[in-house]
Amino acid sequence: MTELDRYDALLTPEGQALLRELRGRDVSGAEALRLGTELRTRYPAQLVVDALGQQELRHRAAAKFDRAADMFLTRAGWEQASAEVVARHRAPRFAGASNLVELCCGIGGDLVALAADRHVLAVDLDPVHLWMARQNAEVYGVRANVTTLLSDVREVPLSGADAVFVDPARRTGRGRLRTGESEPPLDWCTALPVERMGIKAAPGLPHDAVPAGWELEFVAVDRDLKEAVAWSPALATAGARATLLPGGHTLVALEGEAVDVREPGEYLLDPSPAVTRAGAVEELARRLGAWKIDDRIAFLSTDRLVETPFARTLRVIDTRPWNQKRLPALLRDLDVGSVDIRRRGLAGDVDAVHRKLKLSGSRRATLVMTRVDDVPWGLVCVDP
């Protein structure tokens, strides 16, 4: 029995009955062993193994996909797929495209959003992932808009396409590739003969890795930086952009007056990593009337409370040059009993610092290890 035969077996009435029985259950750990033993008395052993594997992946993927409970997944496929909130944000860039080609479609994480209102040719070299892309398109009700093609993406004719989305692999059987490397390579992707293109990339992609005229969009979900997308000139709307989901807030890096650099004020702002990667920290400072505390570090400061989706705001209760020996006594004096440590621009072992504190106070604080005008600095902060 081939791997595809085993997945096909999950679509049979017997396979579907077994998946329904497992639906919503956490089948990890000892529960999987107990449940597997019981189910083998009623179902074929291989079917039980495959169904339990699918249920475990579905349970884990629930944070990424609204309909994970019905999807078909591999571990590599769902880990590399864009979260549904990201895919739905991205799809409107292709408005007006009626014949889109998705290269390296994987399990269909982007496909289900791209095919919502257009035809998509989904291409992948992995027959299992292509099978899953078809099934997941069915789960999301867009199967009629999808044609799949098992092929090396380098051999796909694009003459009829009016847009292309590419999600090149950033892992191989030997592990994760270095930042900027992918298969197929980024320079192959950007040279495709289609004007409207989007290319998914790692969030650490250097700005100069894409040709002039392309946009780099850095996407974060809550505070987690997830990915970058390179948009061709026909779809670009800026040079670099930070996007924060699920709110859909965006900030574009613009030229403007230089931002002041001076010591921290009453509040410290920690910009989203998407803002930092987009090079939009100074634009955020100009919008908020904030200043930088160091020319090369992304922290901002103000003397008034500001609320923004683009940064976490903390109230500074102590600020002084870094003195690790004095730190435990300082935190005791401030009645701090637990700390989160944020280190940026200052060398040091965060775990070692934490172990030496031996705190017993009643307050929770954030300890910031950083630099102020290139001087090692420490700030103790609390929520405003």
Whether the pTM exceeds 0.85: the reply is yes
- How confident is the model over 293-302, as a mean pLDDT? 96
- Residue 332: predicted pLDDT: 93
pLDDT band for 194, please (50, 70, 90 cuts). very high
The half-sphere exposure of 299 on its side-chain side, counting CA atoms within 13 A, is: 28
Instruction: Indicate the pLDDT class of residue 358, thresholds 50, 70 and 90.
Output: confident
Please compute the mean of the pLDDT values over residues 334-338 and round it to a whole number. Answer: 94
CB of 18 closer than 8 Å to CB of 55 = no
Q: Average pLDDT of 239-258?
A: 96
Q: pLDDT at residue 370 above 80?
A: yes
More confident residue, 203 or 169: 203
Q: What is the pLDDT of residues 110-138, one digit of tens each?
A: 999 999 999 999 999 999 999 999 999 99
Q: 4-20: per-residue pLDDT in tens?
A: 999 999 999 999 999 99
Instruction: Say what the alpha-carbon torsion angle 201, 206, 212, 217 is, to the nearest 10 degrees.
Output: 50
Instruction: Kindly state the average pLDDT of the residues 250-254.
Output: 95
pLDDT at 270: 97
Q: Which pLDDT score, from 0 to 100, does residue 5 have? A: 95
pLDDT at 176: 66
Q: What is the pLDDT of residues 46-84, one digit of tens each?
A: 999 999 999 999 999 999 999 999 999 999 999 999 999
Q: Which residues of 163-189 are buried (b: 16+ CB within 10 A; e: fewer)?
A: bbbbbbbbeeeeeebeeeebebebeeb
Per-residue pLDDT at 31 exceeds 80: no
User: Which pLDDT score is estimated for 95?
Assistant: 95
Of 149, 135, 128, nearest to 75 by C-alpha is 128
Residue 199 φ/ψ, nearest 5 degrees = -130, 120
> Which pLDDT score, from 0 to 100, does residue 279 have?
97
Looking at residue 177, what DSSP letter applies?
P
pLDDT at residue 183, rounded to an integer: 84
Please tell me the predicted confidence (pLDDT) of residue 26.
Answer: 84
Mean pLDDT over residues 158-171, rounded? Answer: 90
Q: Helical H runs in 23-80?
A: 30-39, 45-61, 75-80
| The token pair that represents 289 in the structure block | 């009337």
* DSSP letter assigned to residue 183: B
